[in-house]
């Protein structure tokens, strides 16, 4: 019986060439960096290329860009209100980056950068600190009313304020872990189901070819699910960003 | 107990979390359907909340799956 290939192996980062050496740490251009650059280039090509003509009657690509813009704009208006529109560049960038990264990661033999917690944690911390800094800058100490909901008796506040502070601090953790774990678990499951097919063929020869069809069909169905998850998690990441930014815009509800 | 056996037992136990998540996700969709059938005209407006609730509930199942994977393949 052939041993299953380690499904975690696909998340290993390989260095392409070293860039700089800071205090004994080698900073190299890795495949993670390459796929991040790829995501940015793809996004830029889509948005800039599609809107280069600026036609009144949009071309096909321009209507894709317009649809994406309208989608994100509606999402912000419905969660953070009209004031939230100043965060449109941030939310739009985060959404498109995560979306393209998820979708590119689904291409076989490519690398999924959102399965690296350092990437998702960086994005989540960016949102977290944007909320804190913008909230304090905009509202000063009134920002801390976020932790004390109005209309709650003082006795209950003693209980609620620590809970609110805890849940606020746990946000970047759950925000980043949700995306990372979804993509990681999806890719591991795909790899496991794929290795079942390989084990069938390796273990049983010609009969195994027929036996391999069942896991293969399952892998195809799972791939469709992963496509849904990739879209859904990008959407969820963006809408949670909007909800958190709403707290910095309107604290103390 | 053999550490290897404990690892596999732990991975199996971690999967209980996925079962409880199934209850949560089912509740999200079930409640949505209940509400949507009572007032179909308001259903479309709540689709975003449906997806959000689904993703929030589903995340914890994914976390426990992650713990199982960590036990099986990494540790």
What ipTM was assigned to the predicted interfaces of this complex? 0.75
Provide the pLDDT for residue A201: 83
Q: A7 lies in a domain?
A: no
Q: Does A185 touch chain B (CB under 8 A)?
A: yes
Q: Does A73 touch chain B (CB under 8 A)?
A: no
A residues 155..184 contacting B (CB < 8 A): 174, 177-178, 181-182, 184
Q: A3 lies in a domain?
A: no
CA distances from A80 to A84, A114, A174, A211 (A): 5, 26, 20, 52
- Residues A236, B51 contacting (CB under 8 angstroms): yes
Q: Which domain holds residue A173?
A: 28-249
pLDDT tens digits in sequence order for chain A, 253 residues long = 334 567 777 787 777 777 777 777 777 788 888 899 999 999 998 888 887 877 777 788 888 888 999 999 998 998 888 888 989 999 999 999 999 999 999 988 888 899 888 999 999 999 999 999 999 998 888 888 888 877 888 888 888 889 989 989 988 988 898 899 889 888 888 888 888 888 888 888 788 788 788 888 999 999 998 998 899 899 999 999 998 998 888 876 5
Inter-chain touch B73–A239, beta carbons under 8 Å: no
Domains and CATH numbers, chain B: 3-74 (1.20.20.10)
Residue A161 to chain B, least CA–CA distance (Å): 23
> Half-sphere exposure of residue A135, counting CA atoms within 13 Å on the CB side?
21
Question: Which neighbouring-strand residues pair with A225?
Answer: none
- Candidates A34, A32, A38, A16; CA nearest to A114 is A32
Taking phi first (over 0 means left), then psi (-120 to 50 degrees means alpha), and beta for anything else, what does residue A67 get? alpha
The proportion of chain A whose per-residue pLDDT surpasses 70, expressed as a percent, equals: 97
Q: A94 lies in a domain?
A: yes
CA distances from A161 to A91, A150, A155 (A): 28, 11, 11
Burial class (CB in 10 A: 0-12, 13-18, 19+), A15: middle
Provide the pLDDT for residue B25: 93
- Nearest-CB residue to A8 (from B48, B56, B73): B73
Return the residue of A nearest to B71 by Cα. Answer: A8
Task: Please count the residue pairs, one from chain A and one from chain B, whose beta carbons lie less than 8 angstroms apart.
Answer: 42
Question: Could you report the per-residue pLDDT of A118-133, keeping only the tens digit for each?
Answer: 999 999 999 999 999 9
- Residues A98, A123 contacting (CB under 8 angstroms): yes
- Candidates A238, A116, A228, A234; CA nearest to A177 is A116
Give the number of domains in chain A.
Answer: 1
Provide the pLDDT for residue A1: 33
Question: Could you report the per-residue pLDDT of A157-182, keeping only the tens digit for each?
Answer: 888 889 989 989 988 988 898 899 88
* Lowest mean pLDDT segment, chosen from A213-217, A248-252, B7-11, B40-44: A248-252
Provide the pLDDT for residue A253: 59
A7 chain-B contacts, CB cut-off 8 A? 69, 73
Provide the pLDDT for residue B52: 82
Provide the pLDDT for residue A5: 61
Q: A176 lies in a domain?
A: yes
- Candidates A183, A167, A171, A35; CA nearest to A117 is A183
Q: A21 lies in a domain?
A: no
A91 vs B54, which has greater pLDDT?
A91
Q: A17 lies in a domain?
A: no
Inter-chain touch A235–B51, beta carbons under 8 Å: yes
Q: How far is A188 from A6, CA to CA, in rounded Å?
A: 9
Q: A77 lies in a domain?
A: yes
Neighbours of B53 (CB within 10 A): 18
């Amino acid at each position: 019986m052939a041993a299953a290939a380690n499904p975690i192996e696909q998340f290993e980062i390989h260095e392409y060439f070293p860039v700089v050496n800071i205090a004994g740490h080698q900073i190299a251009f890795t495949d993670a960096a390459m796929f991040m650059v790829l995501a940015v280039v793809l996004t830029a090509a889509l948005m800039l290329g599609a809107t280069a003509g600026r036609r009144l009657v949009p071309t096909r690509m321009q209507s894709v860009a317009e649809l994406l813009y309208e989608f994100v704009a509606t999402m912000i208006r419905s969660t953070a209100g009209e004031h939230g529109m100043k965060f449109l560049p941030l939310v739009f960038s985060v959404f498109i980056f995560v979306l393209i990264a998820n979708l590119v990661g689904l291409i076989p033999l490519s690398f999924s950068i959102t399965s690296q917690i350092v990437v998702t944690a960086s994005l989540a911390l960016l949102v977290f600190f944007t909320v804190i800094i913008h909230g304090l800058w905009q509202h000063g100490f009134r920002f801390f009313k976020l932790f004390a909901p109005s209309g709650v008796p003082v006795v209950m506040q003693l209980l609620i304020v620590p809970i609110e502070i805890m849940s606020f601090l746990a946000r970047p953790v759950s925000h980043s872990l949700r995306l990372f774990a979804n993509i990681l678990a999806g890719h591991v499951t795909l790899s496991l189901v794929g290795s079942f097919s390989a084990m069938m063929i390796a273990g049983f020869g010609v009969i195994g070819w027929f036996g391999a069809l069942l896991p293969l069909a399952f892998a195809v169905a799972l791939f469709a699910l992963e496509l849904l998850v990739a879209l859904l998690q990008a959407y969820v990441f963006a809408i949670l960003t909007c909800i958190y930014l709403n707290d910095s815009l309107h604290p103390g509800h | 107990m053999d550490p290897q056996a404990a690892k596999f037992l732990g991975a199996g136990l971690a999967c209980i979390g996925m079962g409880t998540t199934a209850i949560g996700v089912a509740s999200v969709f079930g409640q949505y359907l209940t509400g949507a059938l009572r007032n179909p005209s308001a259903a479309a407006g709540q689709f975003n909340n449906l997806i959000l609730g689904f993703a929030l509930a589903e995340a914890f199942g994914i976390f426990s799956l992650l713990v199982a994977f960590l036990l099986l393949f990494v540790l």
